[in-house]
Chains A and B, each alone.
Chain A
Amino acid sequence: AQSVTQPDIHITVSEGASLELRCNYSYGATPYLFWYVQSPGQGLQLLLKYFSGDTLVQGIKGFEAEFKRSQSSFNLRKPSVHWSDAAEYFCAVGRGQNFVFGPGTRLSVLP
């Protein structure tokens, strides 16, 4: 069965610092991979997705993620964090109708 692990429950970074959020998955085949962001009181918004091809994908708001098949990972990165990036981040994997979210990583940003 597919599963998603986000090892970091909560991360705090200073504004302007770089960010990396980790995501590991277990899936029978190469899945489609997604990162969503959820601001307080809001629904989830798609940041980026990987289907195939170039393993480094660019998303909205300056985020990028790299798919590493050998490590079953899809880590999210941003070179310089803004205060408005404080939110909950969810990694998700699946194909077709089978789709699973990870438990999320809460990002706090210090001024």
Chain B
Amino acid sequence: EAGVAQSPRYKIIEKRQSVAFWCNPISGHATLYWYQQILGQGPKLLIQFQNNGVVDDSQLPKDRFSAERLKGVDSTLKIQPAKLEDSAVYLCASSLGPPTGMGGYTFGSGTRLTVV
């Protein structure tokens, strides 16, 4: 089975620029997550989709971050405008059921964003 695909792997941008990340989950996984992992910290959930609907976006900085999951498959996460503190690894994950279900998550390799 193919894993969770993310692109790009690395991105360097200047502050106030915009950036977008792409995620393709495992086929058949209805639930998709975007996590932000700042250096030295555990992953923090930004947004969770169930099919193409948002389940939880309580920790998403909505003034600058947006995400969509068209047709309930691929997803994009956008930051506009970026700030220095947005430098982090952005992880996408997918699951068949809830994250604490028997299958757990499957994570992608992440996109490392550096804002200068």
Q: Could you list which residues of chain A lie within 8 angstroms of chain B, going by C-beta atoms? A: 4, 9, 31-32, 34, 41-46, 49, 51, 90, 92, 94-104
Contact = CB atoms under 8 A, between A and B. Distances in A.
A50 to B, nearest CB: 11
Contact of B42 (A51, A90, A98): A90
Contacts of A99: 45, 99-100
A94 B101 CA distance: 10
B107 interface: yes
Interface residues of B, number: 22
A95 B43 CA distance: 17
A102 B42 contact: yes
Contact of A42 (B45, B100, B109): B109
A42 B91 CA distance: 10
B56 interface: yes
B42 A4 contact: yes
A34 B43 contact: no
Given A43-B110, A92-B42, A101-B43, 13 more contacts: A42-B109, A43-B91, A46-B104, A49-B104, A51-B102, A94-B100, A96-B100, A97-B55, A97-B98, A98-B100, A99-B99, A103-B41, A104-B41
A92 B91 CA distance: 16
Contacts of B21: none
A32 B109 contact: no
Given A97-B48, A103-B41, A103-B42, A44 B100 contact: no
Given A43-B4, A97-B99, A104 B42 contact: yes
B41 A44 contact: no
